[in-house]
């Protein structure tokens, strides 16, 4: 019964995503803008500074950004379903709320991963060339871990809110610093110590670093360190999200 509910909610999230073509196209605008404006605009400057091809450095960060935005904003659907009564119908089912939360979170993470894969293909069309080797399959694992982490975080925040306006304000306050301070746009190796210290407290930093290590073999923290912290932080966010989701009042 529990597995059936997880599967139904997972499938519902994916179908909702695939039916919304405007959502798919609209969510690609910002990643494409970053790839074109920054990748080609700052590319010559980055190369003259001895950094190499900036598009190679930037693409993993943009892929992570796309996953972050899609995953964390999936929490809005909890508020939407609460307002239209679907959440109430789901919560009265004879299954633990943890099961419902897992189904929704896995669905949101799958959708965010699909979005990241689309941006990955667009980046390759733009000129990004990932390193073909044994680490390449790990890149897709890291994409899913990042998606799972921030979907759980979005669920946790949405569980405490009742209106979409409040969710959007909090998410904008949270998402932009997470992205810009993660090292997605600049190398942490040459960043000021203060920024490096801040990046260490940013969970997205480890996702970007791990993805960059798997795709272009460039790491700041180390692939093993990134993987361990990603798993630990994801598990913590899943636990926090499940605890808050259990306390939703209907």
Orientation of helix 97-126 relative to helix 136-158, angle to 10°: 130
203-225 mean pLDDT: 93
Query: Rounded distance, CA 202 to CA 122, Å?
Result: 26
The answer as to whether 200 is a domain residue is: yes
Instruction: Please state whether the predicted TM-score (pTM) of the whole model is above 0.75.
Output: yes
214-235 mean pLDDT: 92
Query: Rounded distance, CA 128 to CA 54, Å?
Result: 10
Residue 92 — pLDDT band, cuts 50, 70, 90?
A: low
User: How many other CB atoms are there within 10 angstroms of residue 41's CB atom?
Assistant: 11
Residue 167 φ/ψ region, left for φ over 0, alpha for ψ in the -120 to 50 degree band, beta for the rest: alpha
The answer as to whether 16 is a domain residue is: no
Four-residue CA torsion sign, 123, 126, 128, 134: positive
Per-residue model confidence (pLDDT) at position 22:
63
The answer as to whether 20 is a domain residue is: no
* Number of domains, the chain: 1
The SS3 of residue 64 is: helix
Placement of tokens 């190796």 in the chain:
189
Contact 52, 132 (CB under 8 A): no
Residue 89 — pLDDT band, cuts 50, 70, 90?
A: low
Q: Could you give phi then psi for residue 154, rounded to 5 degrees?
A: -65, -40
Q: pLDDT tens across 124-183, in order?
A: 998 899 988 888 899 999 999 999 999 998 888 887 777 777 767 776 788 888 999 998
The answer as to whether 238 is a domain residue is: yes
CA 121, distance to chain mean position in Å, is 17
Least confident stretch, 29-33, 47-51, 107-111, 189-193: 47-51
Least confident stretch, 71-85, 111-125, 146-160, 186-200: 71-85
The answer as to whether 152 is a domain residue is: yes
Query: Rounded distance, CA 58 to CA 43, Å?
Result: 10
The answer as to whether 48 is a domain residue is: yes
Q: State which residues form the domain around 204.
A: 2-11+27-246
The answer as to whether 114 is a domain residue is: yes
85-106 mean pLDDT: 72
CA 22, distance to chain mean position in Å, is 20
The answer as to whether 131 is a domain residue is: yes
The most confident of 62-76, 79-93, 142-156, by mean pLDDT: 142-156
């Amino acid at each position: 019964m529990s597995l059936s509910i997880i599967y139904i909610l997972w499938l519902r999230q994916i179908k909702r995503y695939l039916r919304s073509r405007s959502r798919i196209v609209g969510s690609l605008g910002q990643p494409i803008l970053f790839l074109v404006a920054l990748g080609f605009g700052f590319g010559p400057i980055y190369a003259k500074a001895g950094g190499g091809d900036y598009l190679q450095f930037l693409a993993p960060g943009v892929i992570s950004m796309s996953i972050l935005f899609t995953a964390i904003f999936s929490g809005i659907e909890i508020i939407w379903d609460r307002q239209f009564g679907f959440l109430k119908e789901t919560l009265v089912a004879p299954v633990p709320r943890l099961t419902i939360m897992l189904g929704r979170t896995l669905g949101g993470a799958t959708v965010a991963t699909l979005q990241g894969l689309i941006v990955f293909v667009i980046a390759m069309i733009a000129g990004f060339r990932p390193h073909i080797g044994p680490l390449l399959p790990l890149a897709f694992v890291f994409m899913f871990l990042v998606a799972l982490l921030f979907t759980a975080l979005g669920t946790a925040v949405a569980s405490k809110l009742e209106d979409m306006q409040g969710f959007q304000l909090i998410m904008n306050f949270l998402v932009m610093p997470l992205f810009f301070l993660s090292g997605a746009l600049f190398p942490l190796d040459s960043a000021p110590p203060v920024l490096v210290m801040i990046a260490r407290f940013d969970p997205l930093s480890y996702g970007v670093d791990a993805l960059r290590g798997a795709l272009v073999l460039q790491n700041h923290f180390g692939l093993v360190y990134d993987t361990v912290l990603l798993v630990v932080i994801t598990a913590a966010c899943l636990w926090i999200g499940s605890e808050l989701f259990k306390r939703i009042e209907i």
